Amino acid sequence: MADDALIAAQRLSEWVSRAPTLEEDVALANIALDQLGVARLLLQSLGDEDELAYLRSDSEFRNCLLVELPLGRYRGDLDFGWTIAWLLFLTAAQHLRYNDLAGSDPVAAKAVKESAYHLDHATQWTIRLGDGTQESHRRIQAAIDELWPYTHELTEGLRERWLSIVDPVLEKATLTRPSDEGWKPSGGREGQHTEHLSYLLAEMQSLHRAHPGATW
């Protein structure tokens, strides 16, 4: 969960100053900060947060493959519809996991409240884009179709509950849920990642590795 949140925070931070509206720029930045905050608290419970974030190699990370995918993988640049579909899938799973742990873990108790906002934000935008123009519908449906196979690894152990959250959103947004048959990429939980994580970590870890032990 820590790695999912950390990598998601890094991905979402790419939207800073680039979102379609100023309000959305602030919203995505705040969601990224929330993800980072949870990641830090979880990593602190496991050891030295800086070492765990900045000195592990890609094969030592245990995030699901979904979070490391570029937010516009097949378009060469950031894509808002892709990001919203990605955020809906991720935050629905995170909300369930944090809620399951909230009674016994103070980090999860804090995170479940934040994840509820993240999920609501993604839900509202999914409906707005799916039930909007022909172009907005086409683009977010394409994103959903491309991202869906990666949701199986994300939702292992909670698939049916996750679908009970996501399905009504897709229906209200007039979007089609892809089939669960076929390719189901996995391996992230075992440290087997796409090439995208290597590039992401190179950027995220470069300053710390270049100046080890530096303080502000």
What does pTM read for this prediction? 0.95
Picking from 41, 30, 10, the residue whose alpha carbon sits closest to that of residue 109 is 41
- In this structure, what token pair is assigned to residue 137? 């519908």
Query: What is the domain count for the chain?
Result: 1
Q: Give the tens place of pLDDT for each residue, 123-182.
A: 999 999 999 999 999 999 999 999 999 999 999 999 999 999 999 999 999 999 999 999
The length of the chain in residues reads 216
- Is residue 185 one of the residues assigned to a domain? no
Backbone angles phi, psi at 120, to 5 degrees: -65, -40
Domain of 120, CATH number, reads 1.20.1260.10
- Is residue 152 one of the residues assigned to a domain? yes
Structural domain span for residue 46: 2-176+191-210
What letter represents residue 153's amino acid?
Answer: E
Phi-psi domain of 48 (left: phi exceeds 0; alpha: psi -120 through 50; beta: other): beta
- Is residue 18 one of the residues assigned to a domain? yes
Picking from 74, 80, 166, the residue whose alpha carbon sits closest to that of residue 125 is 80
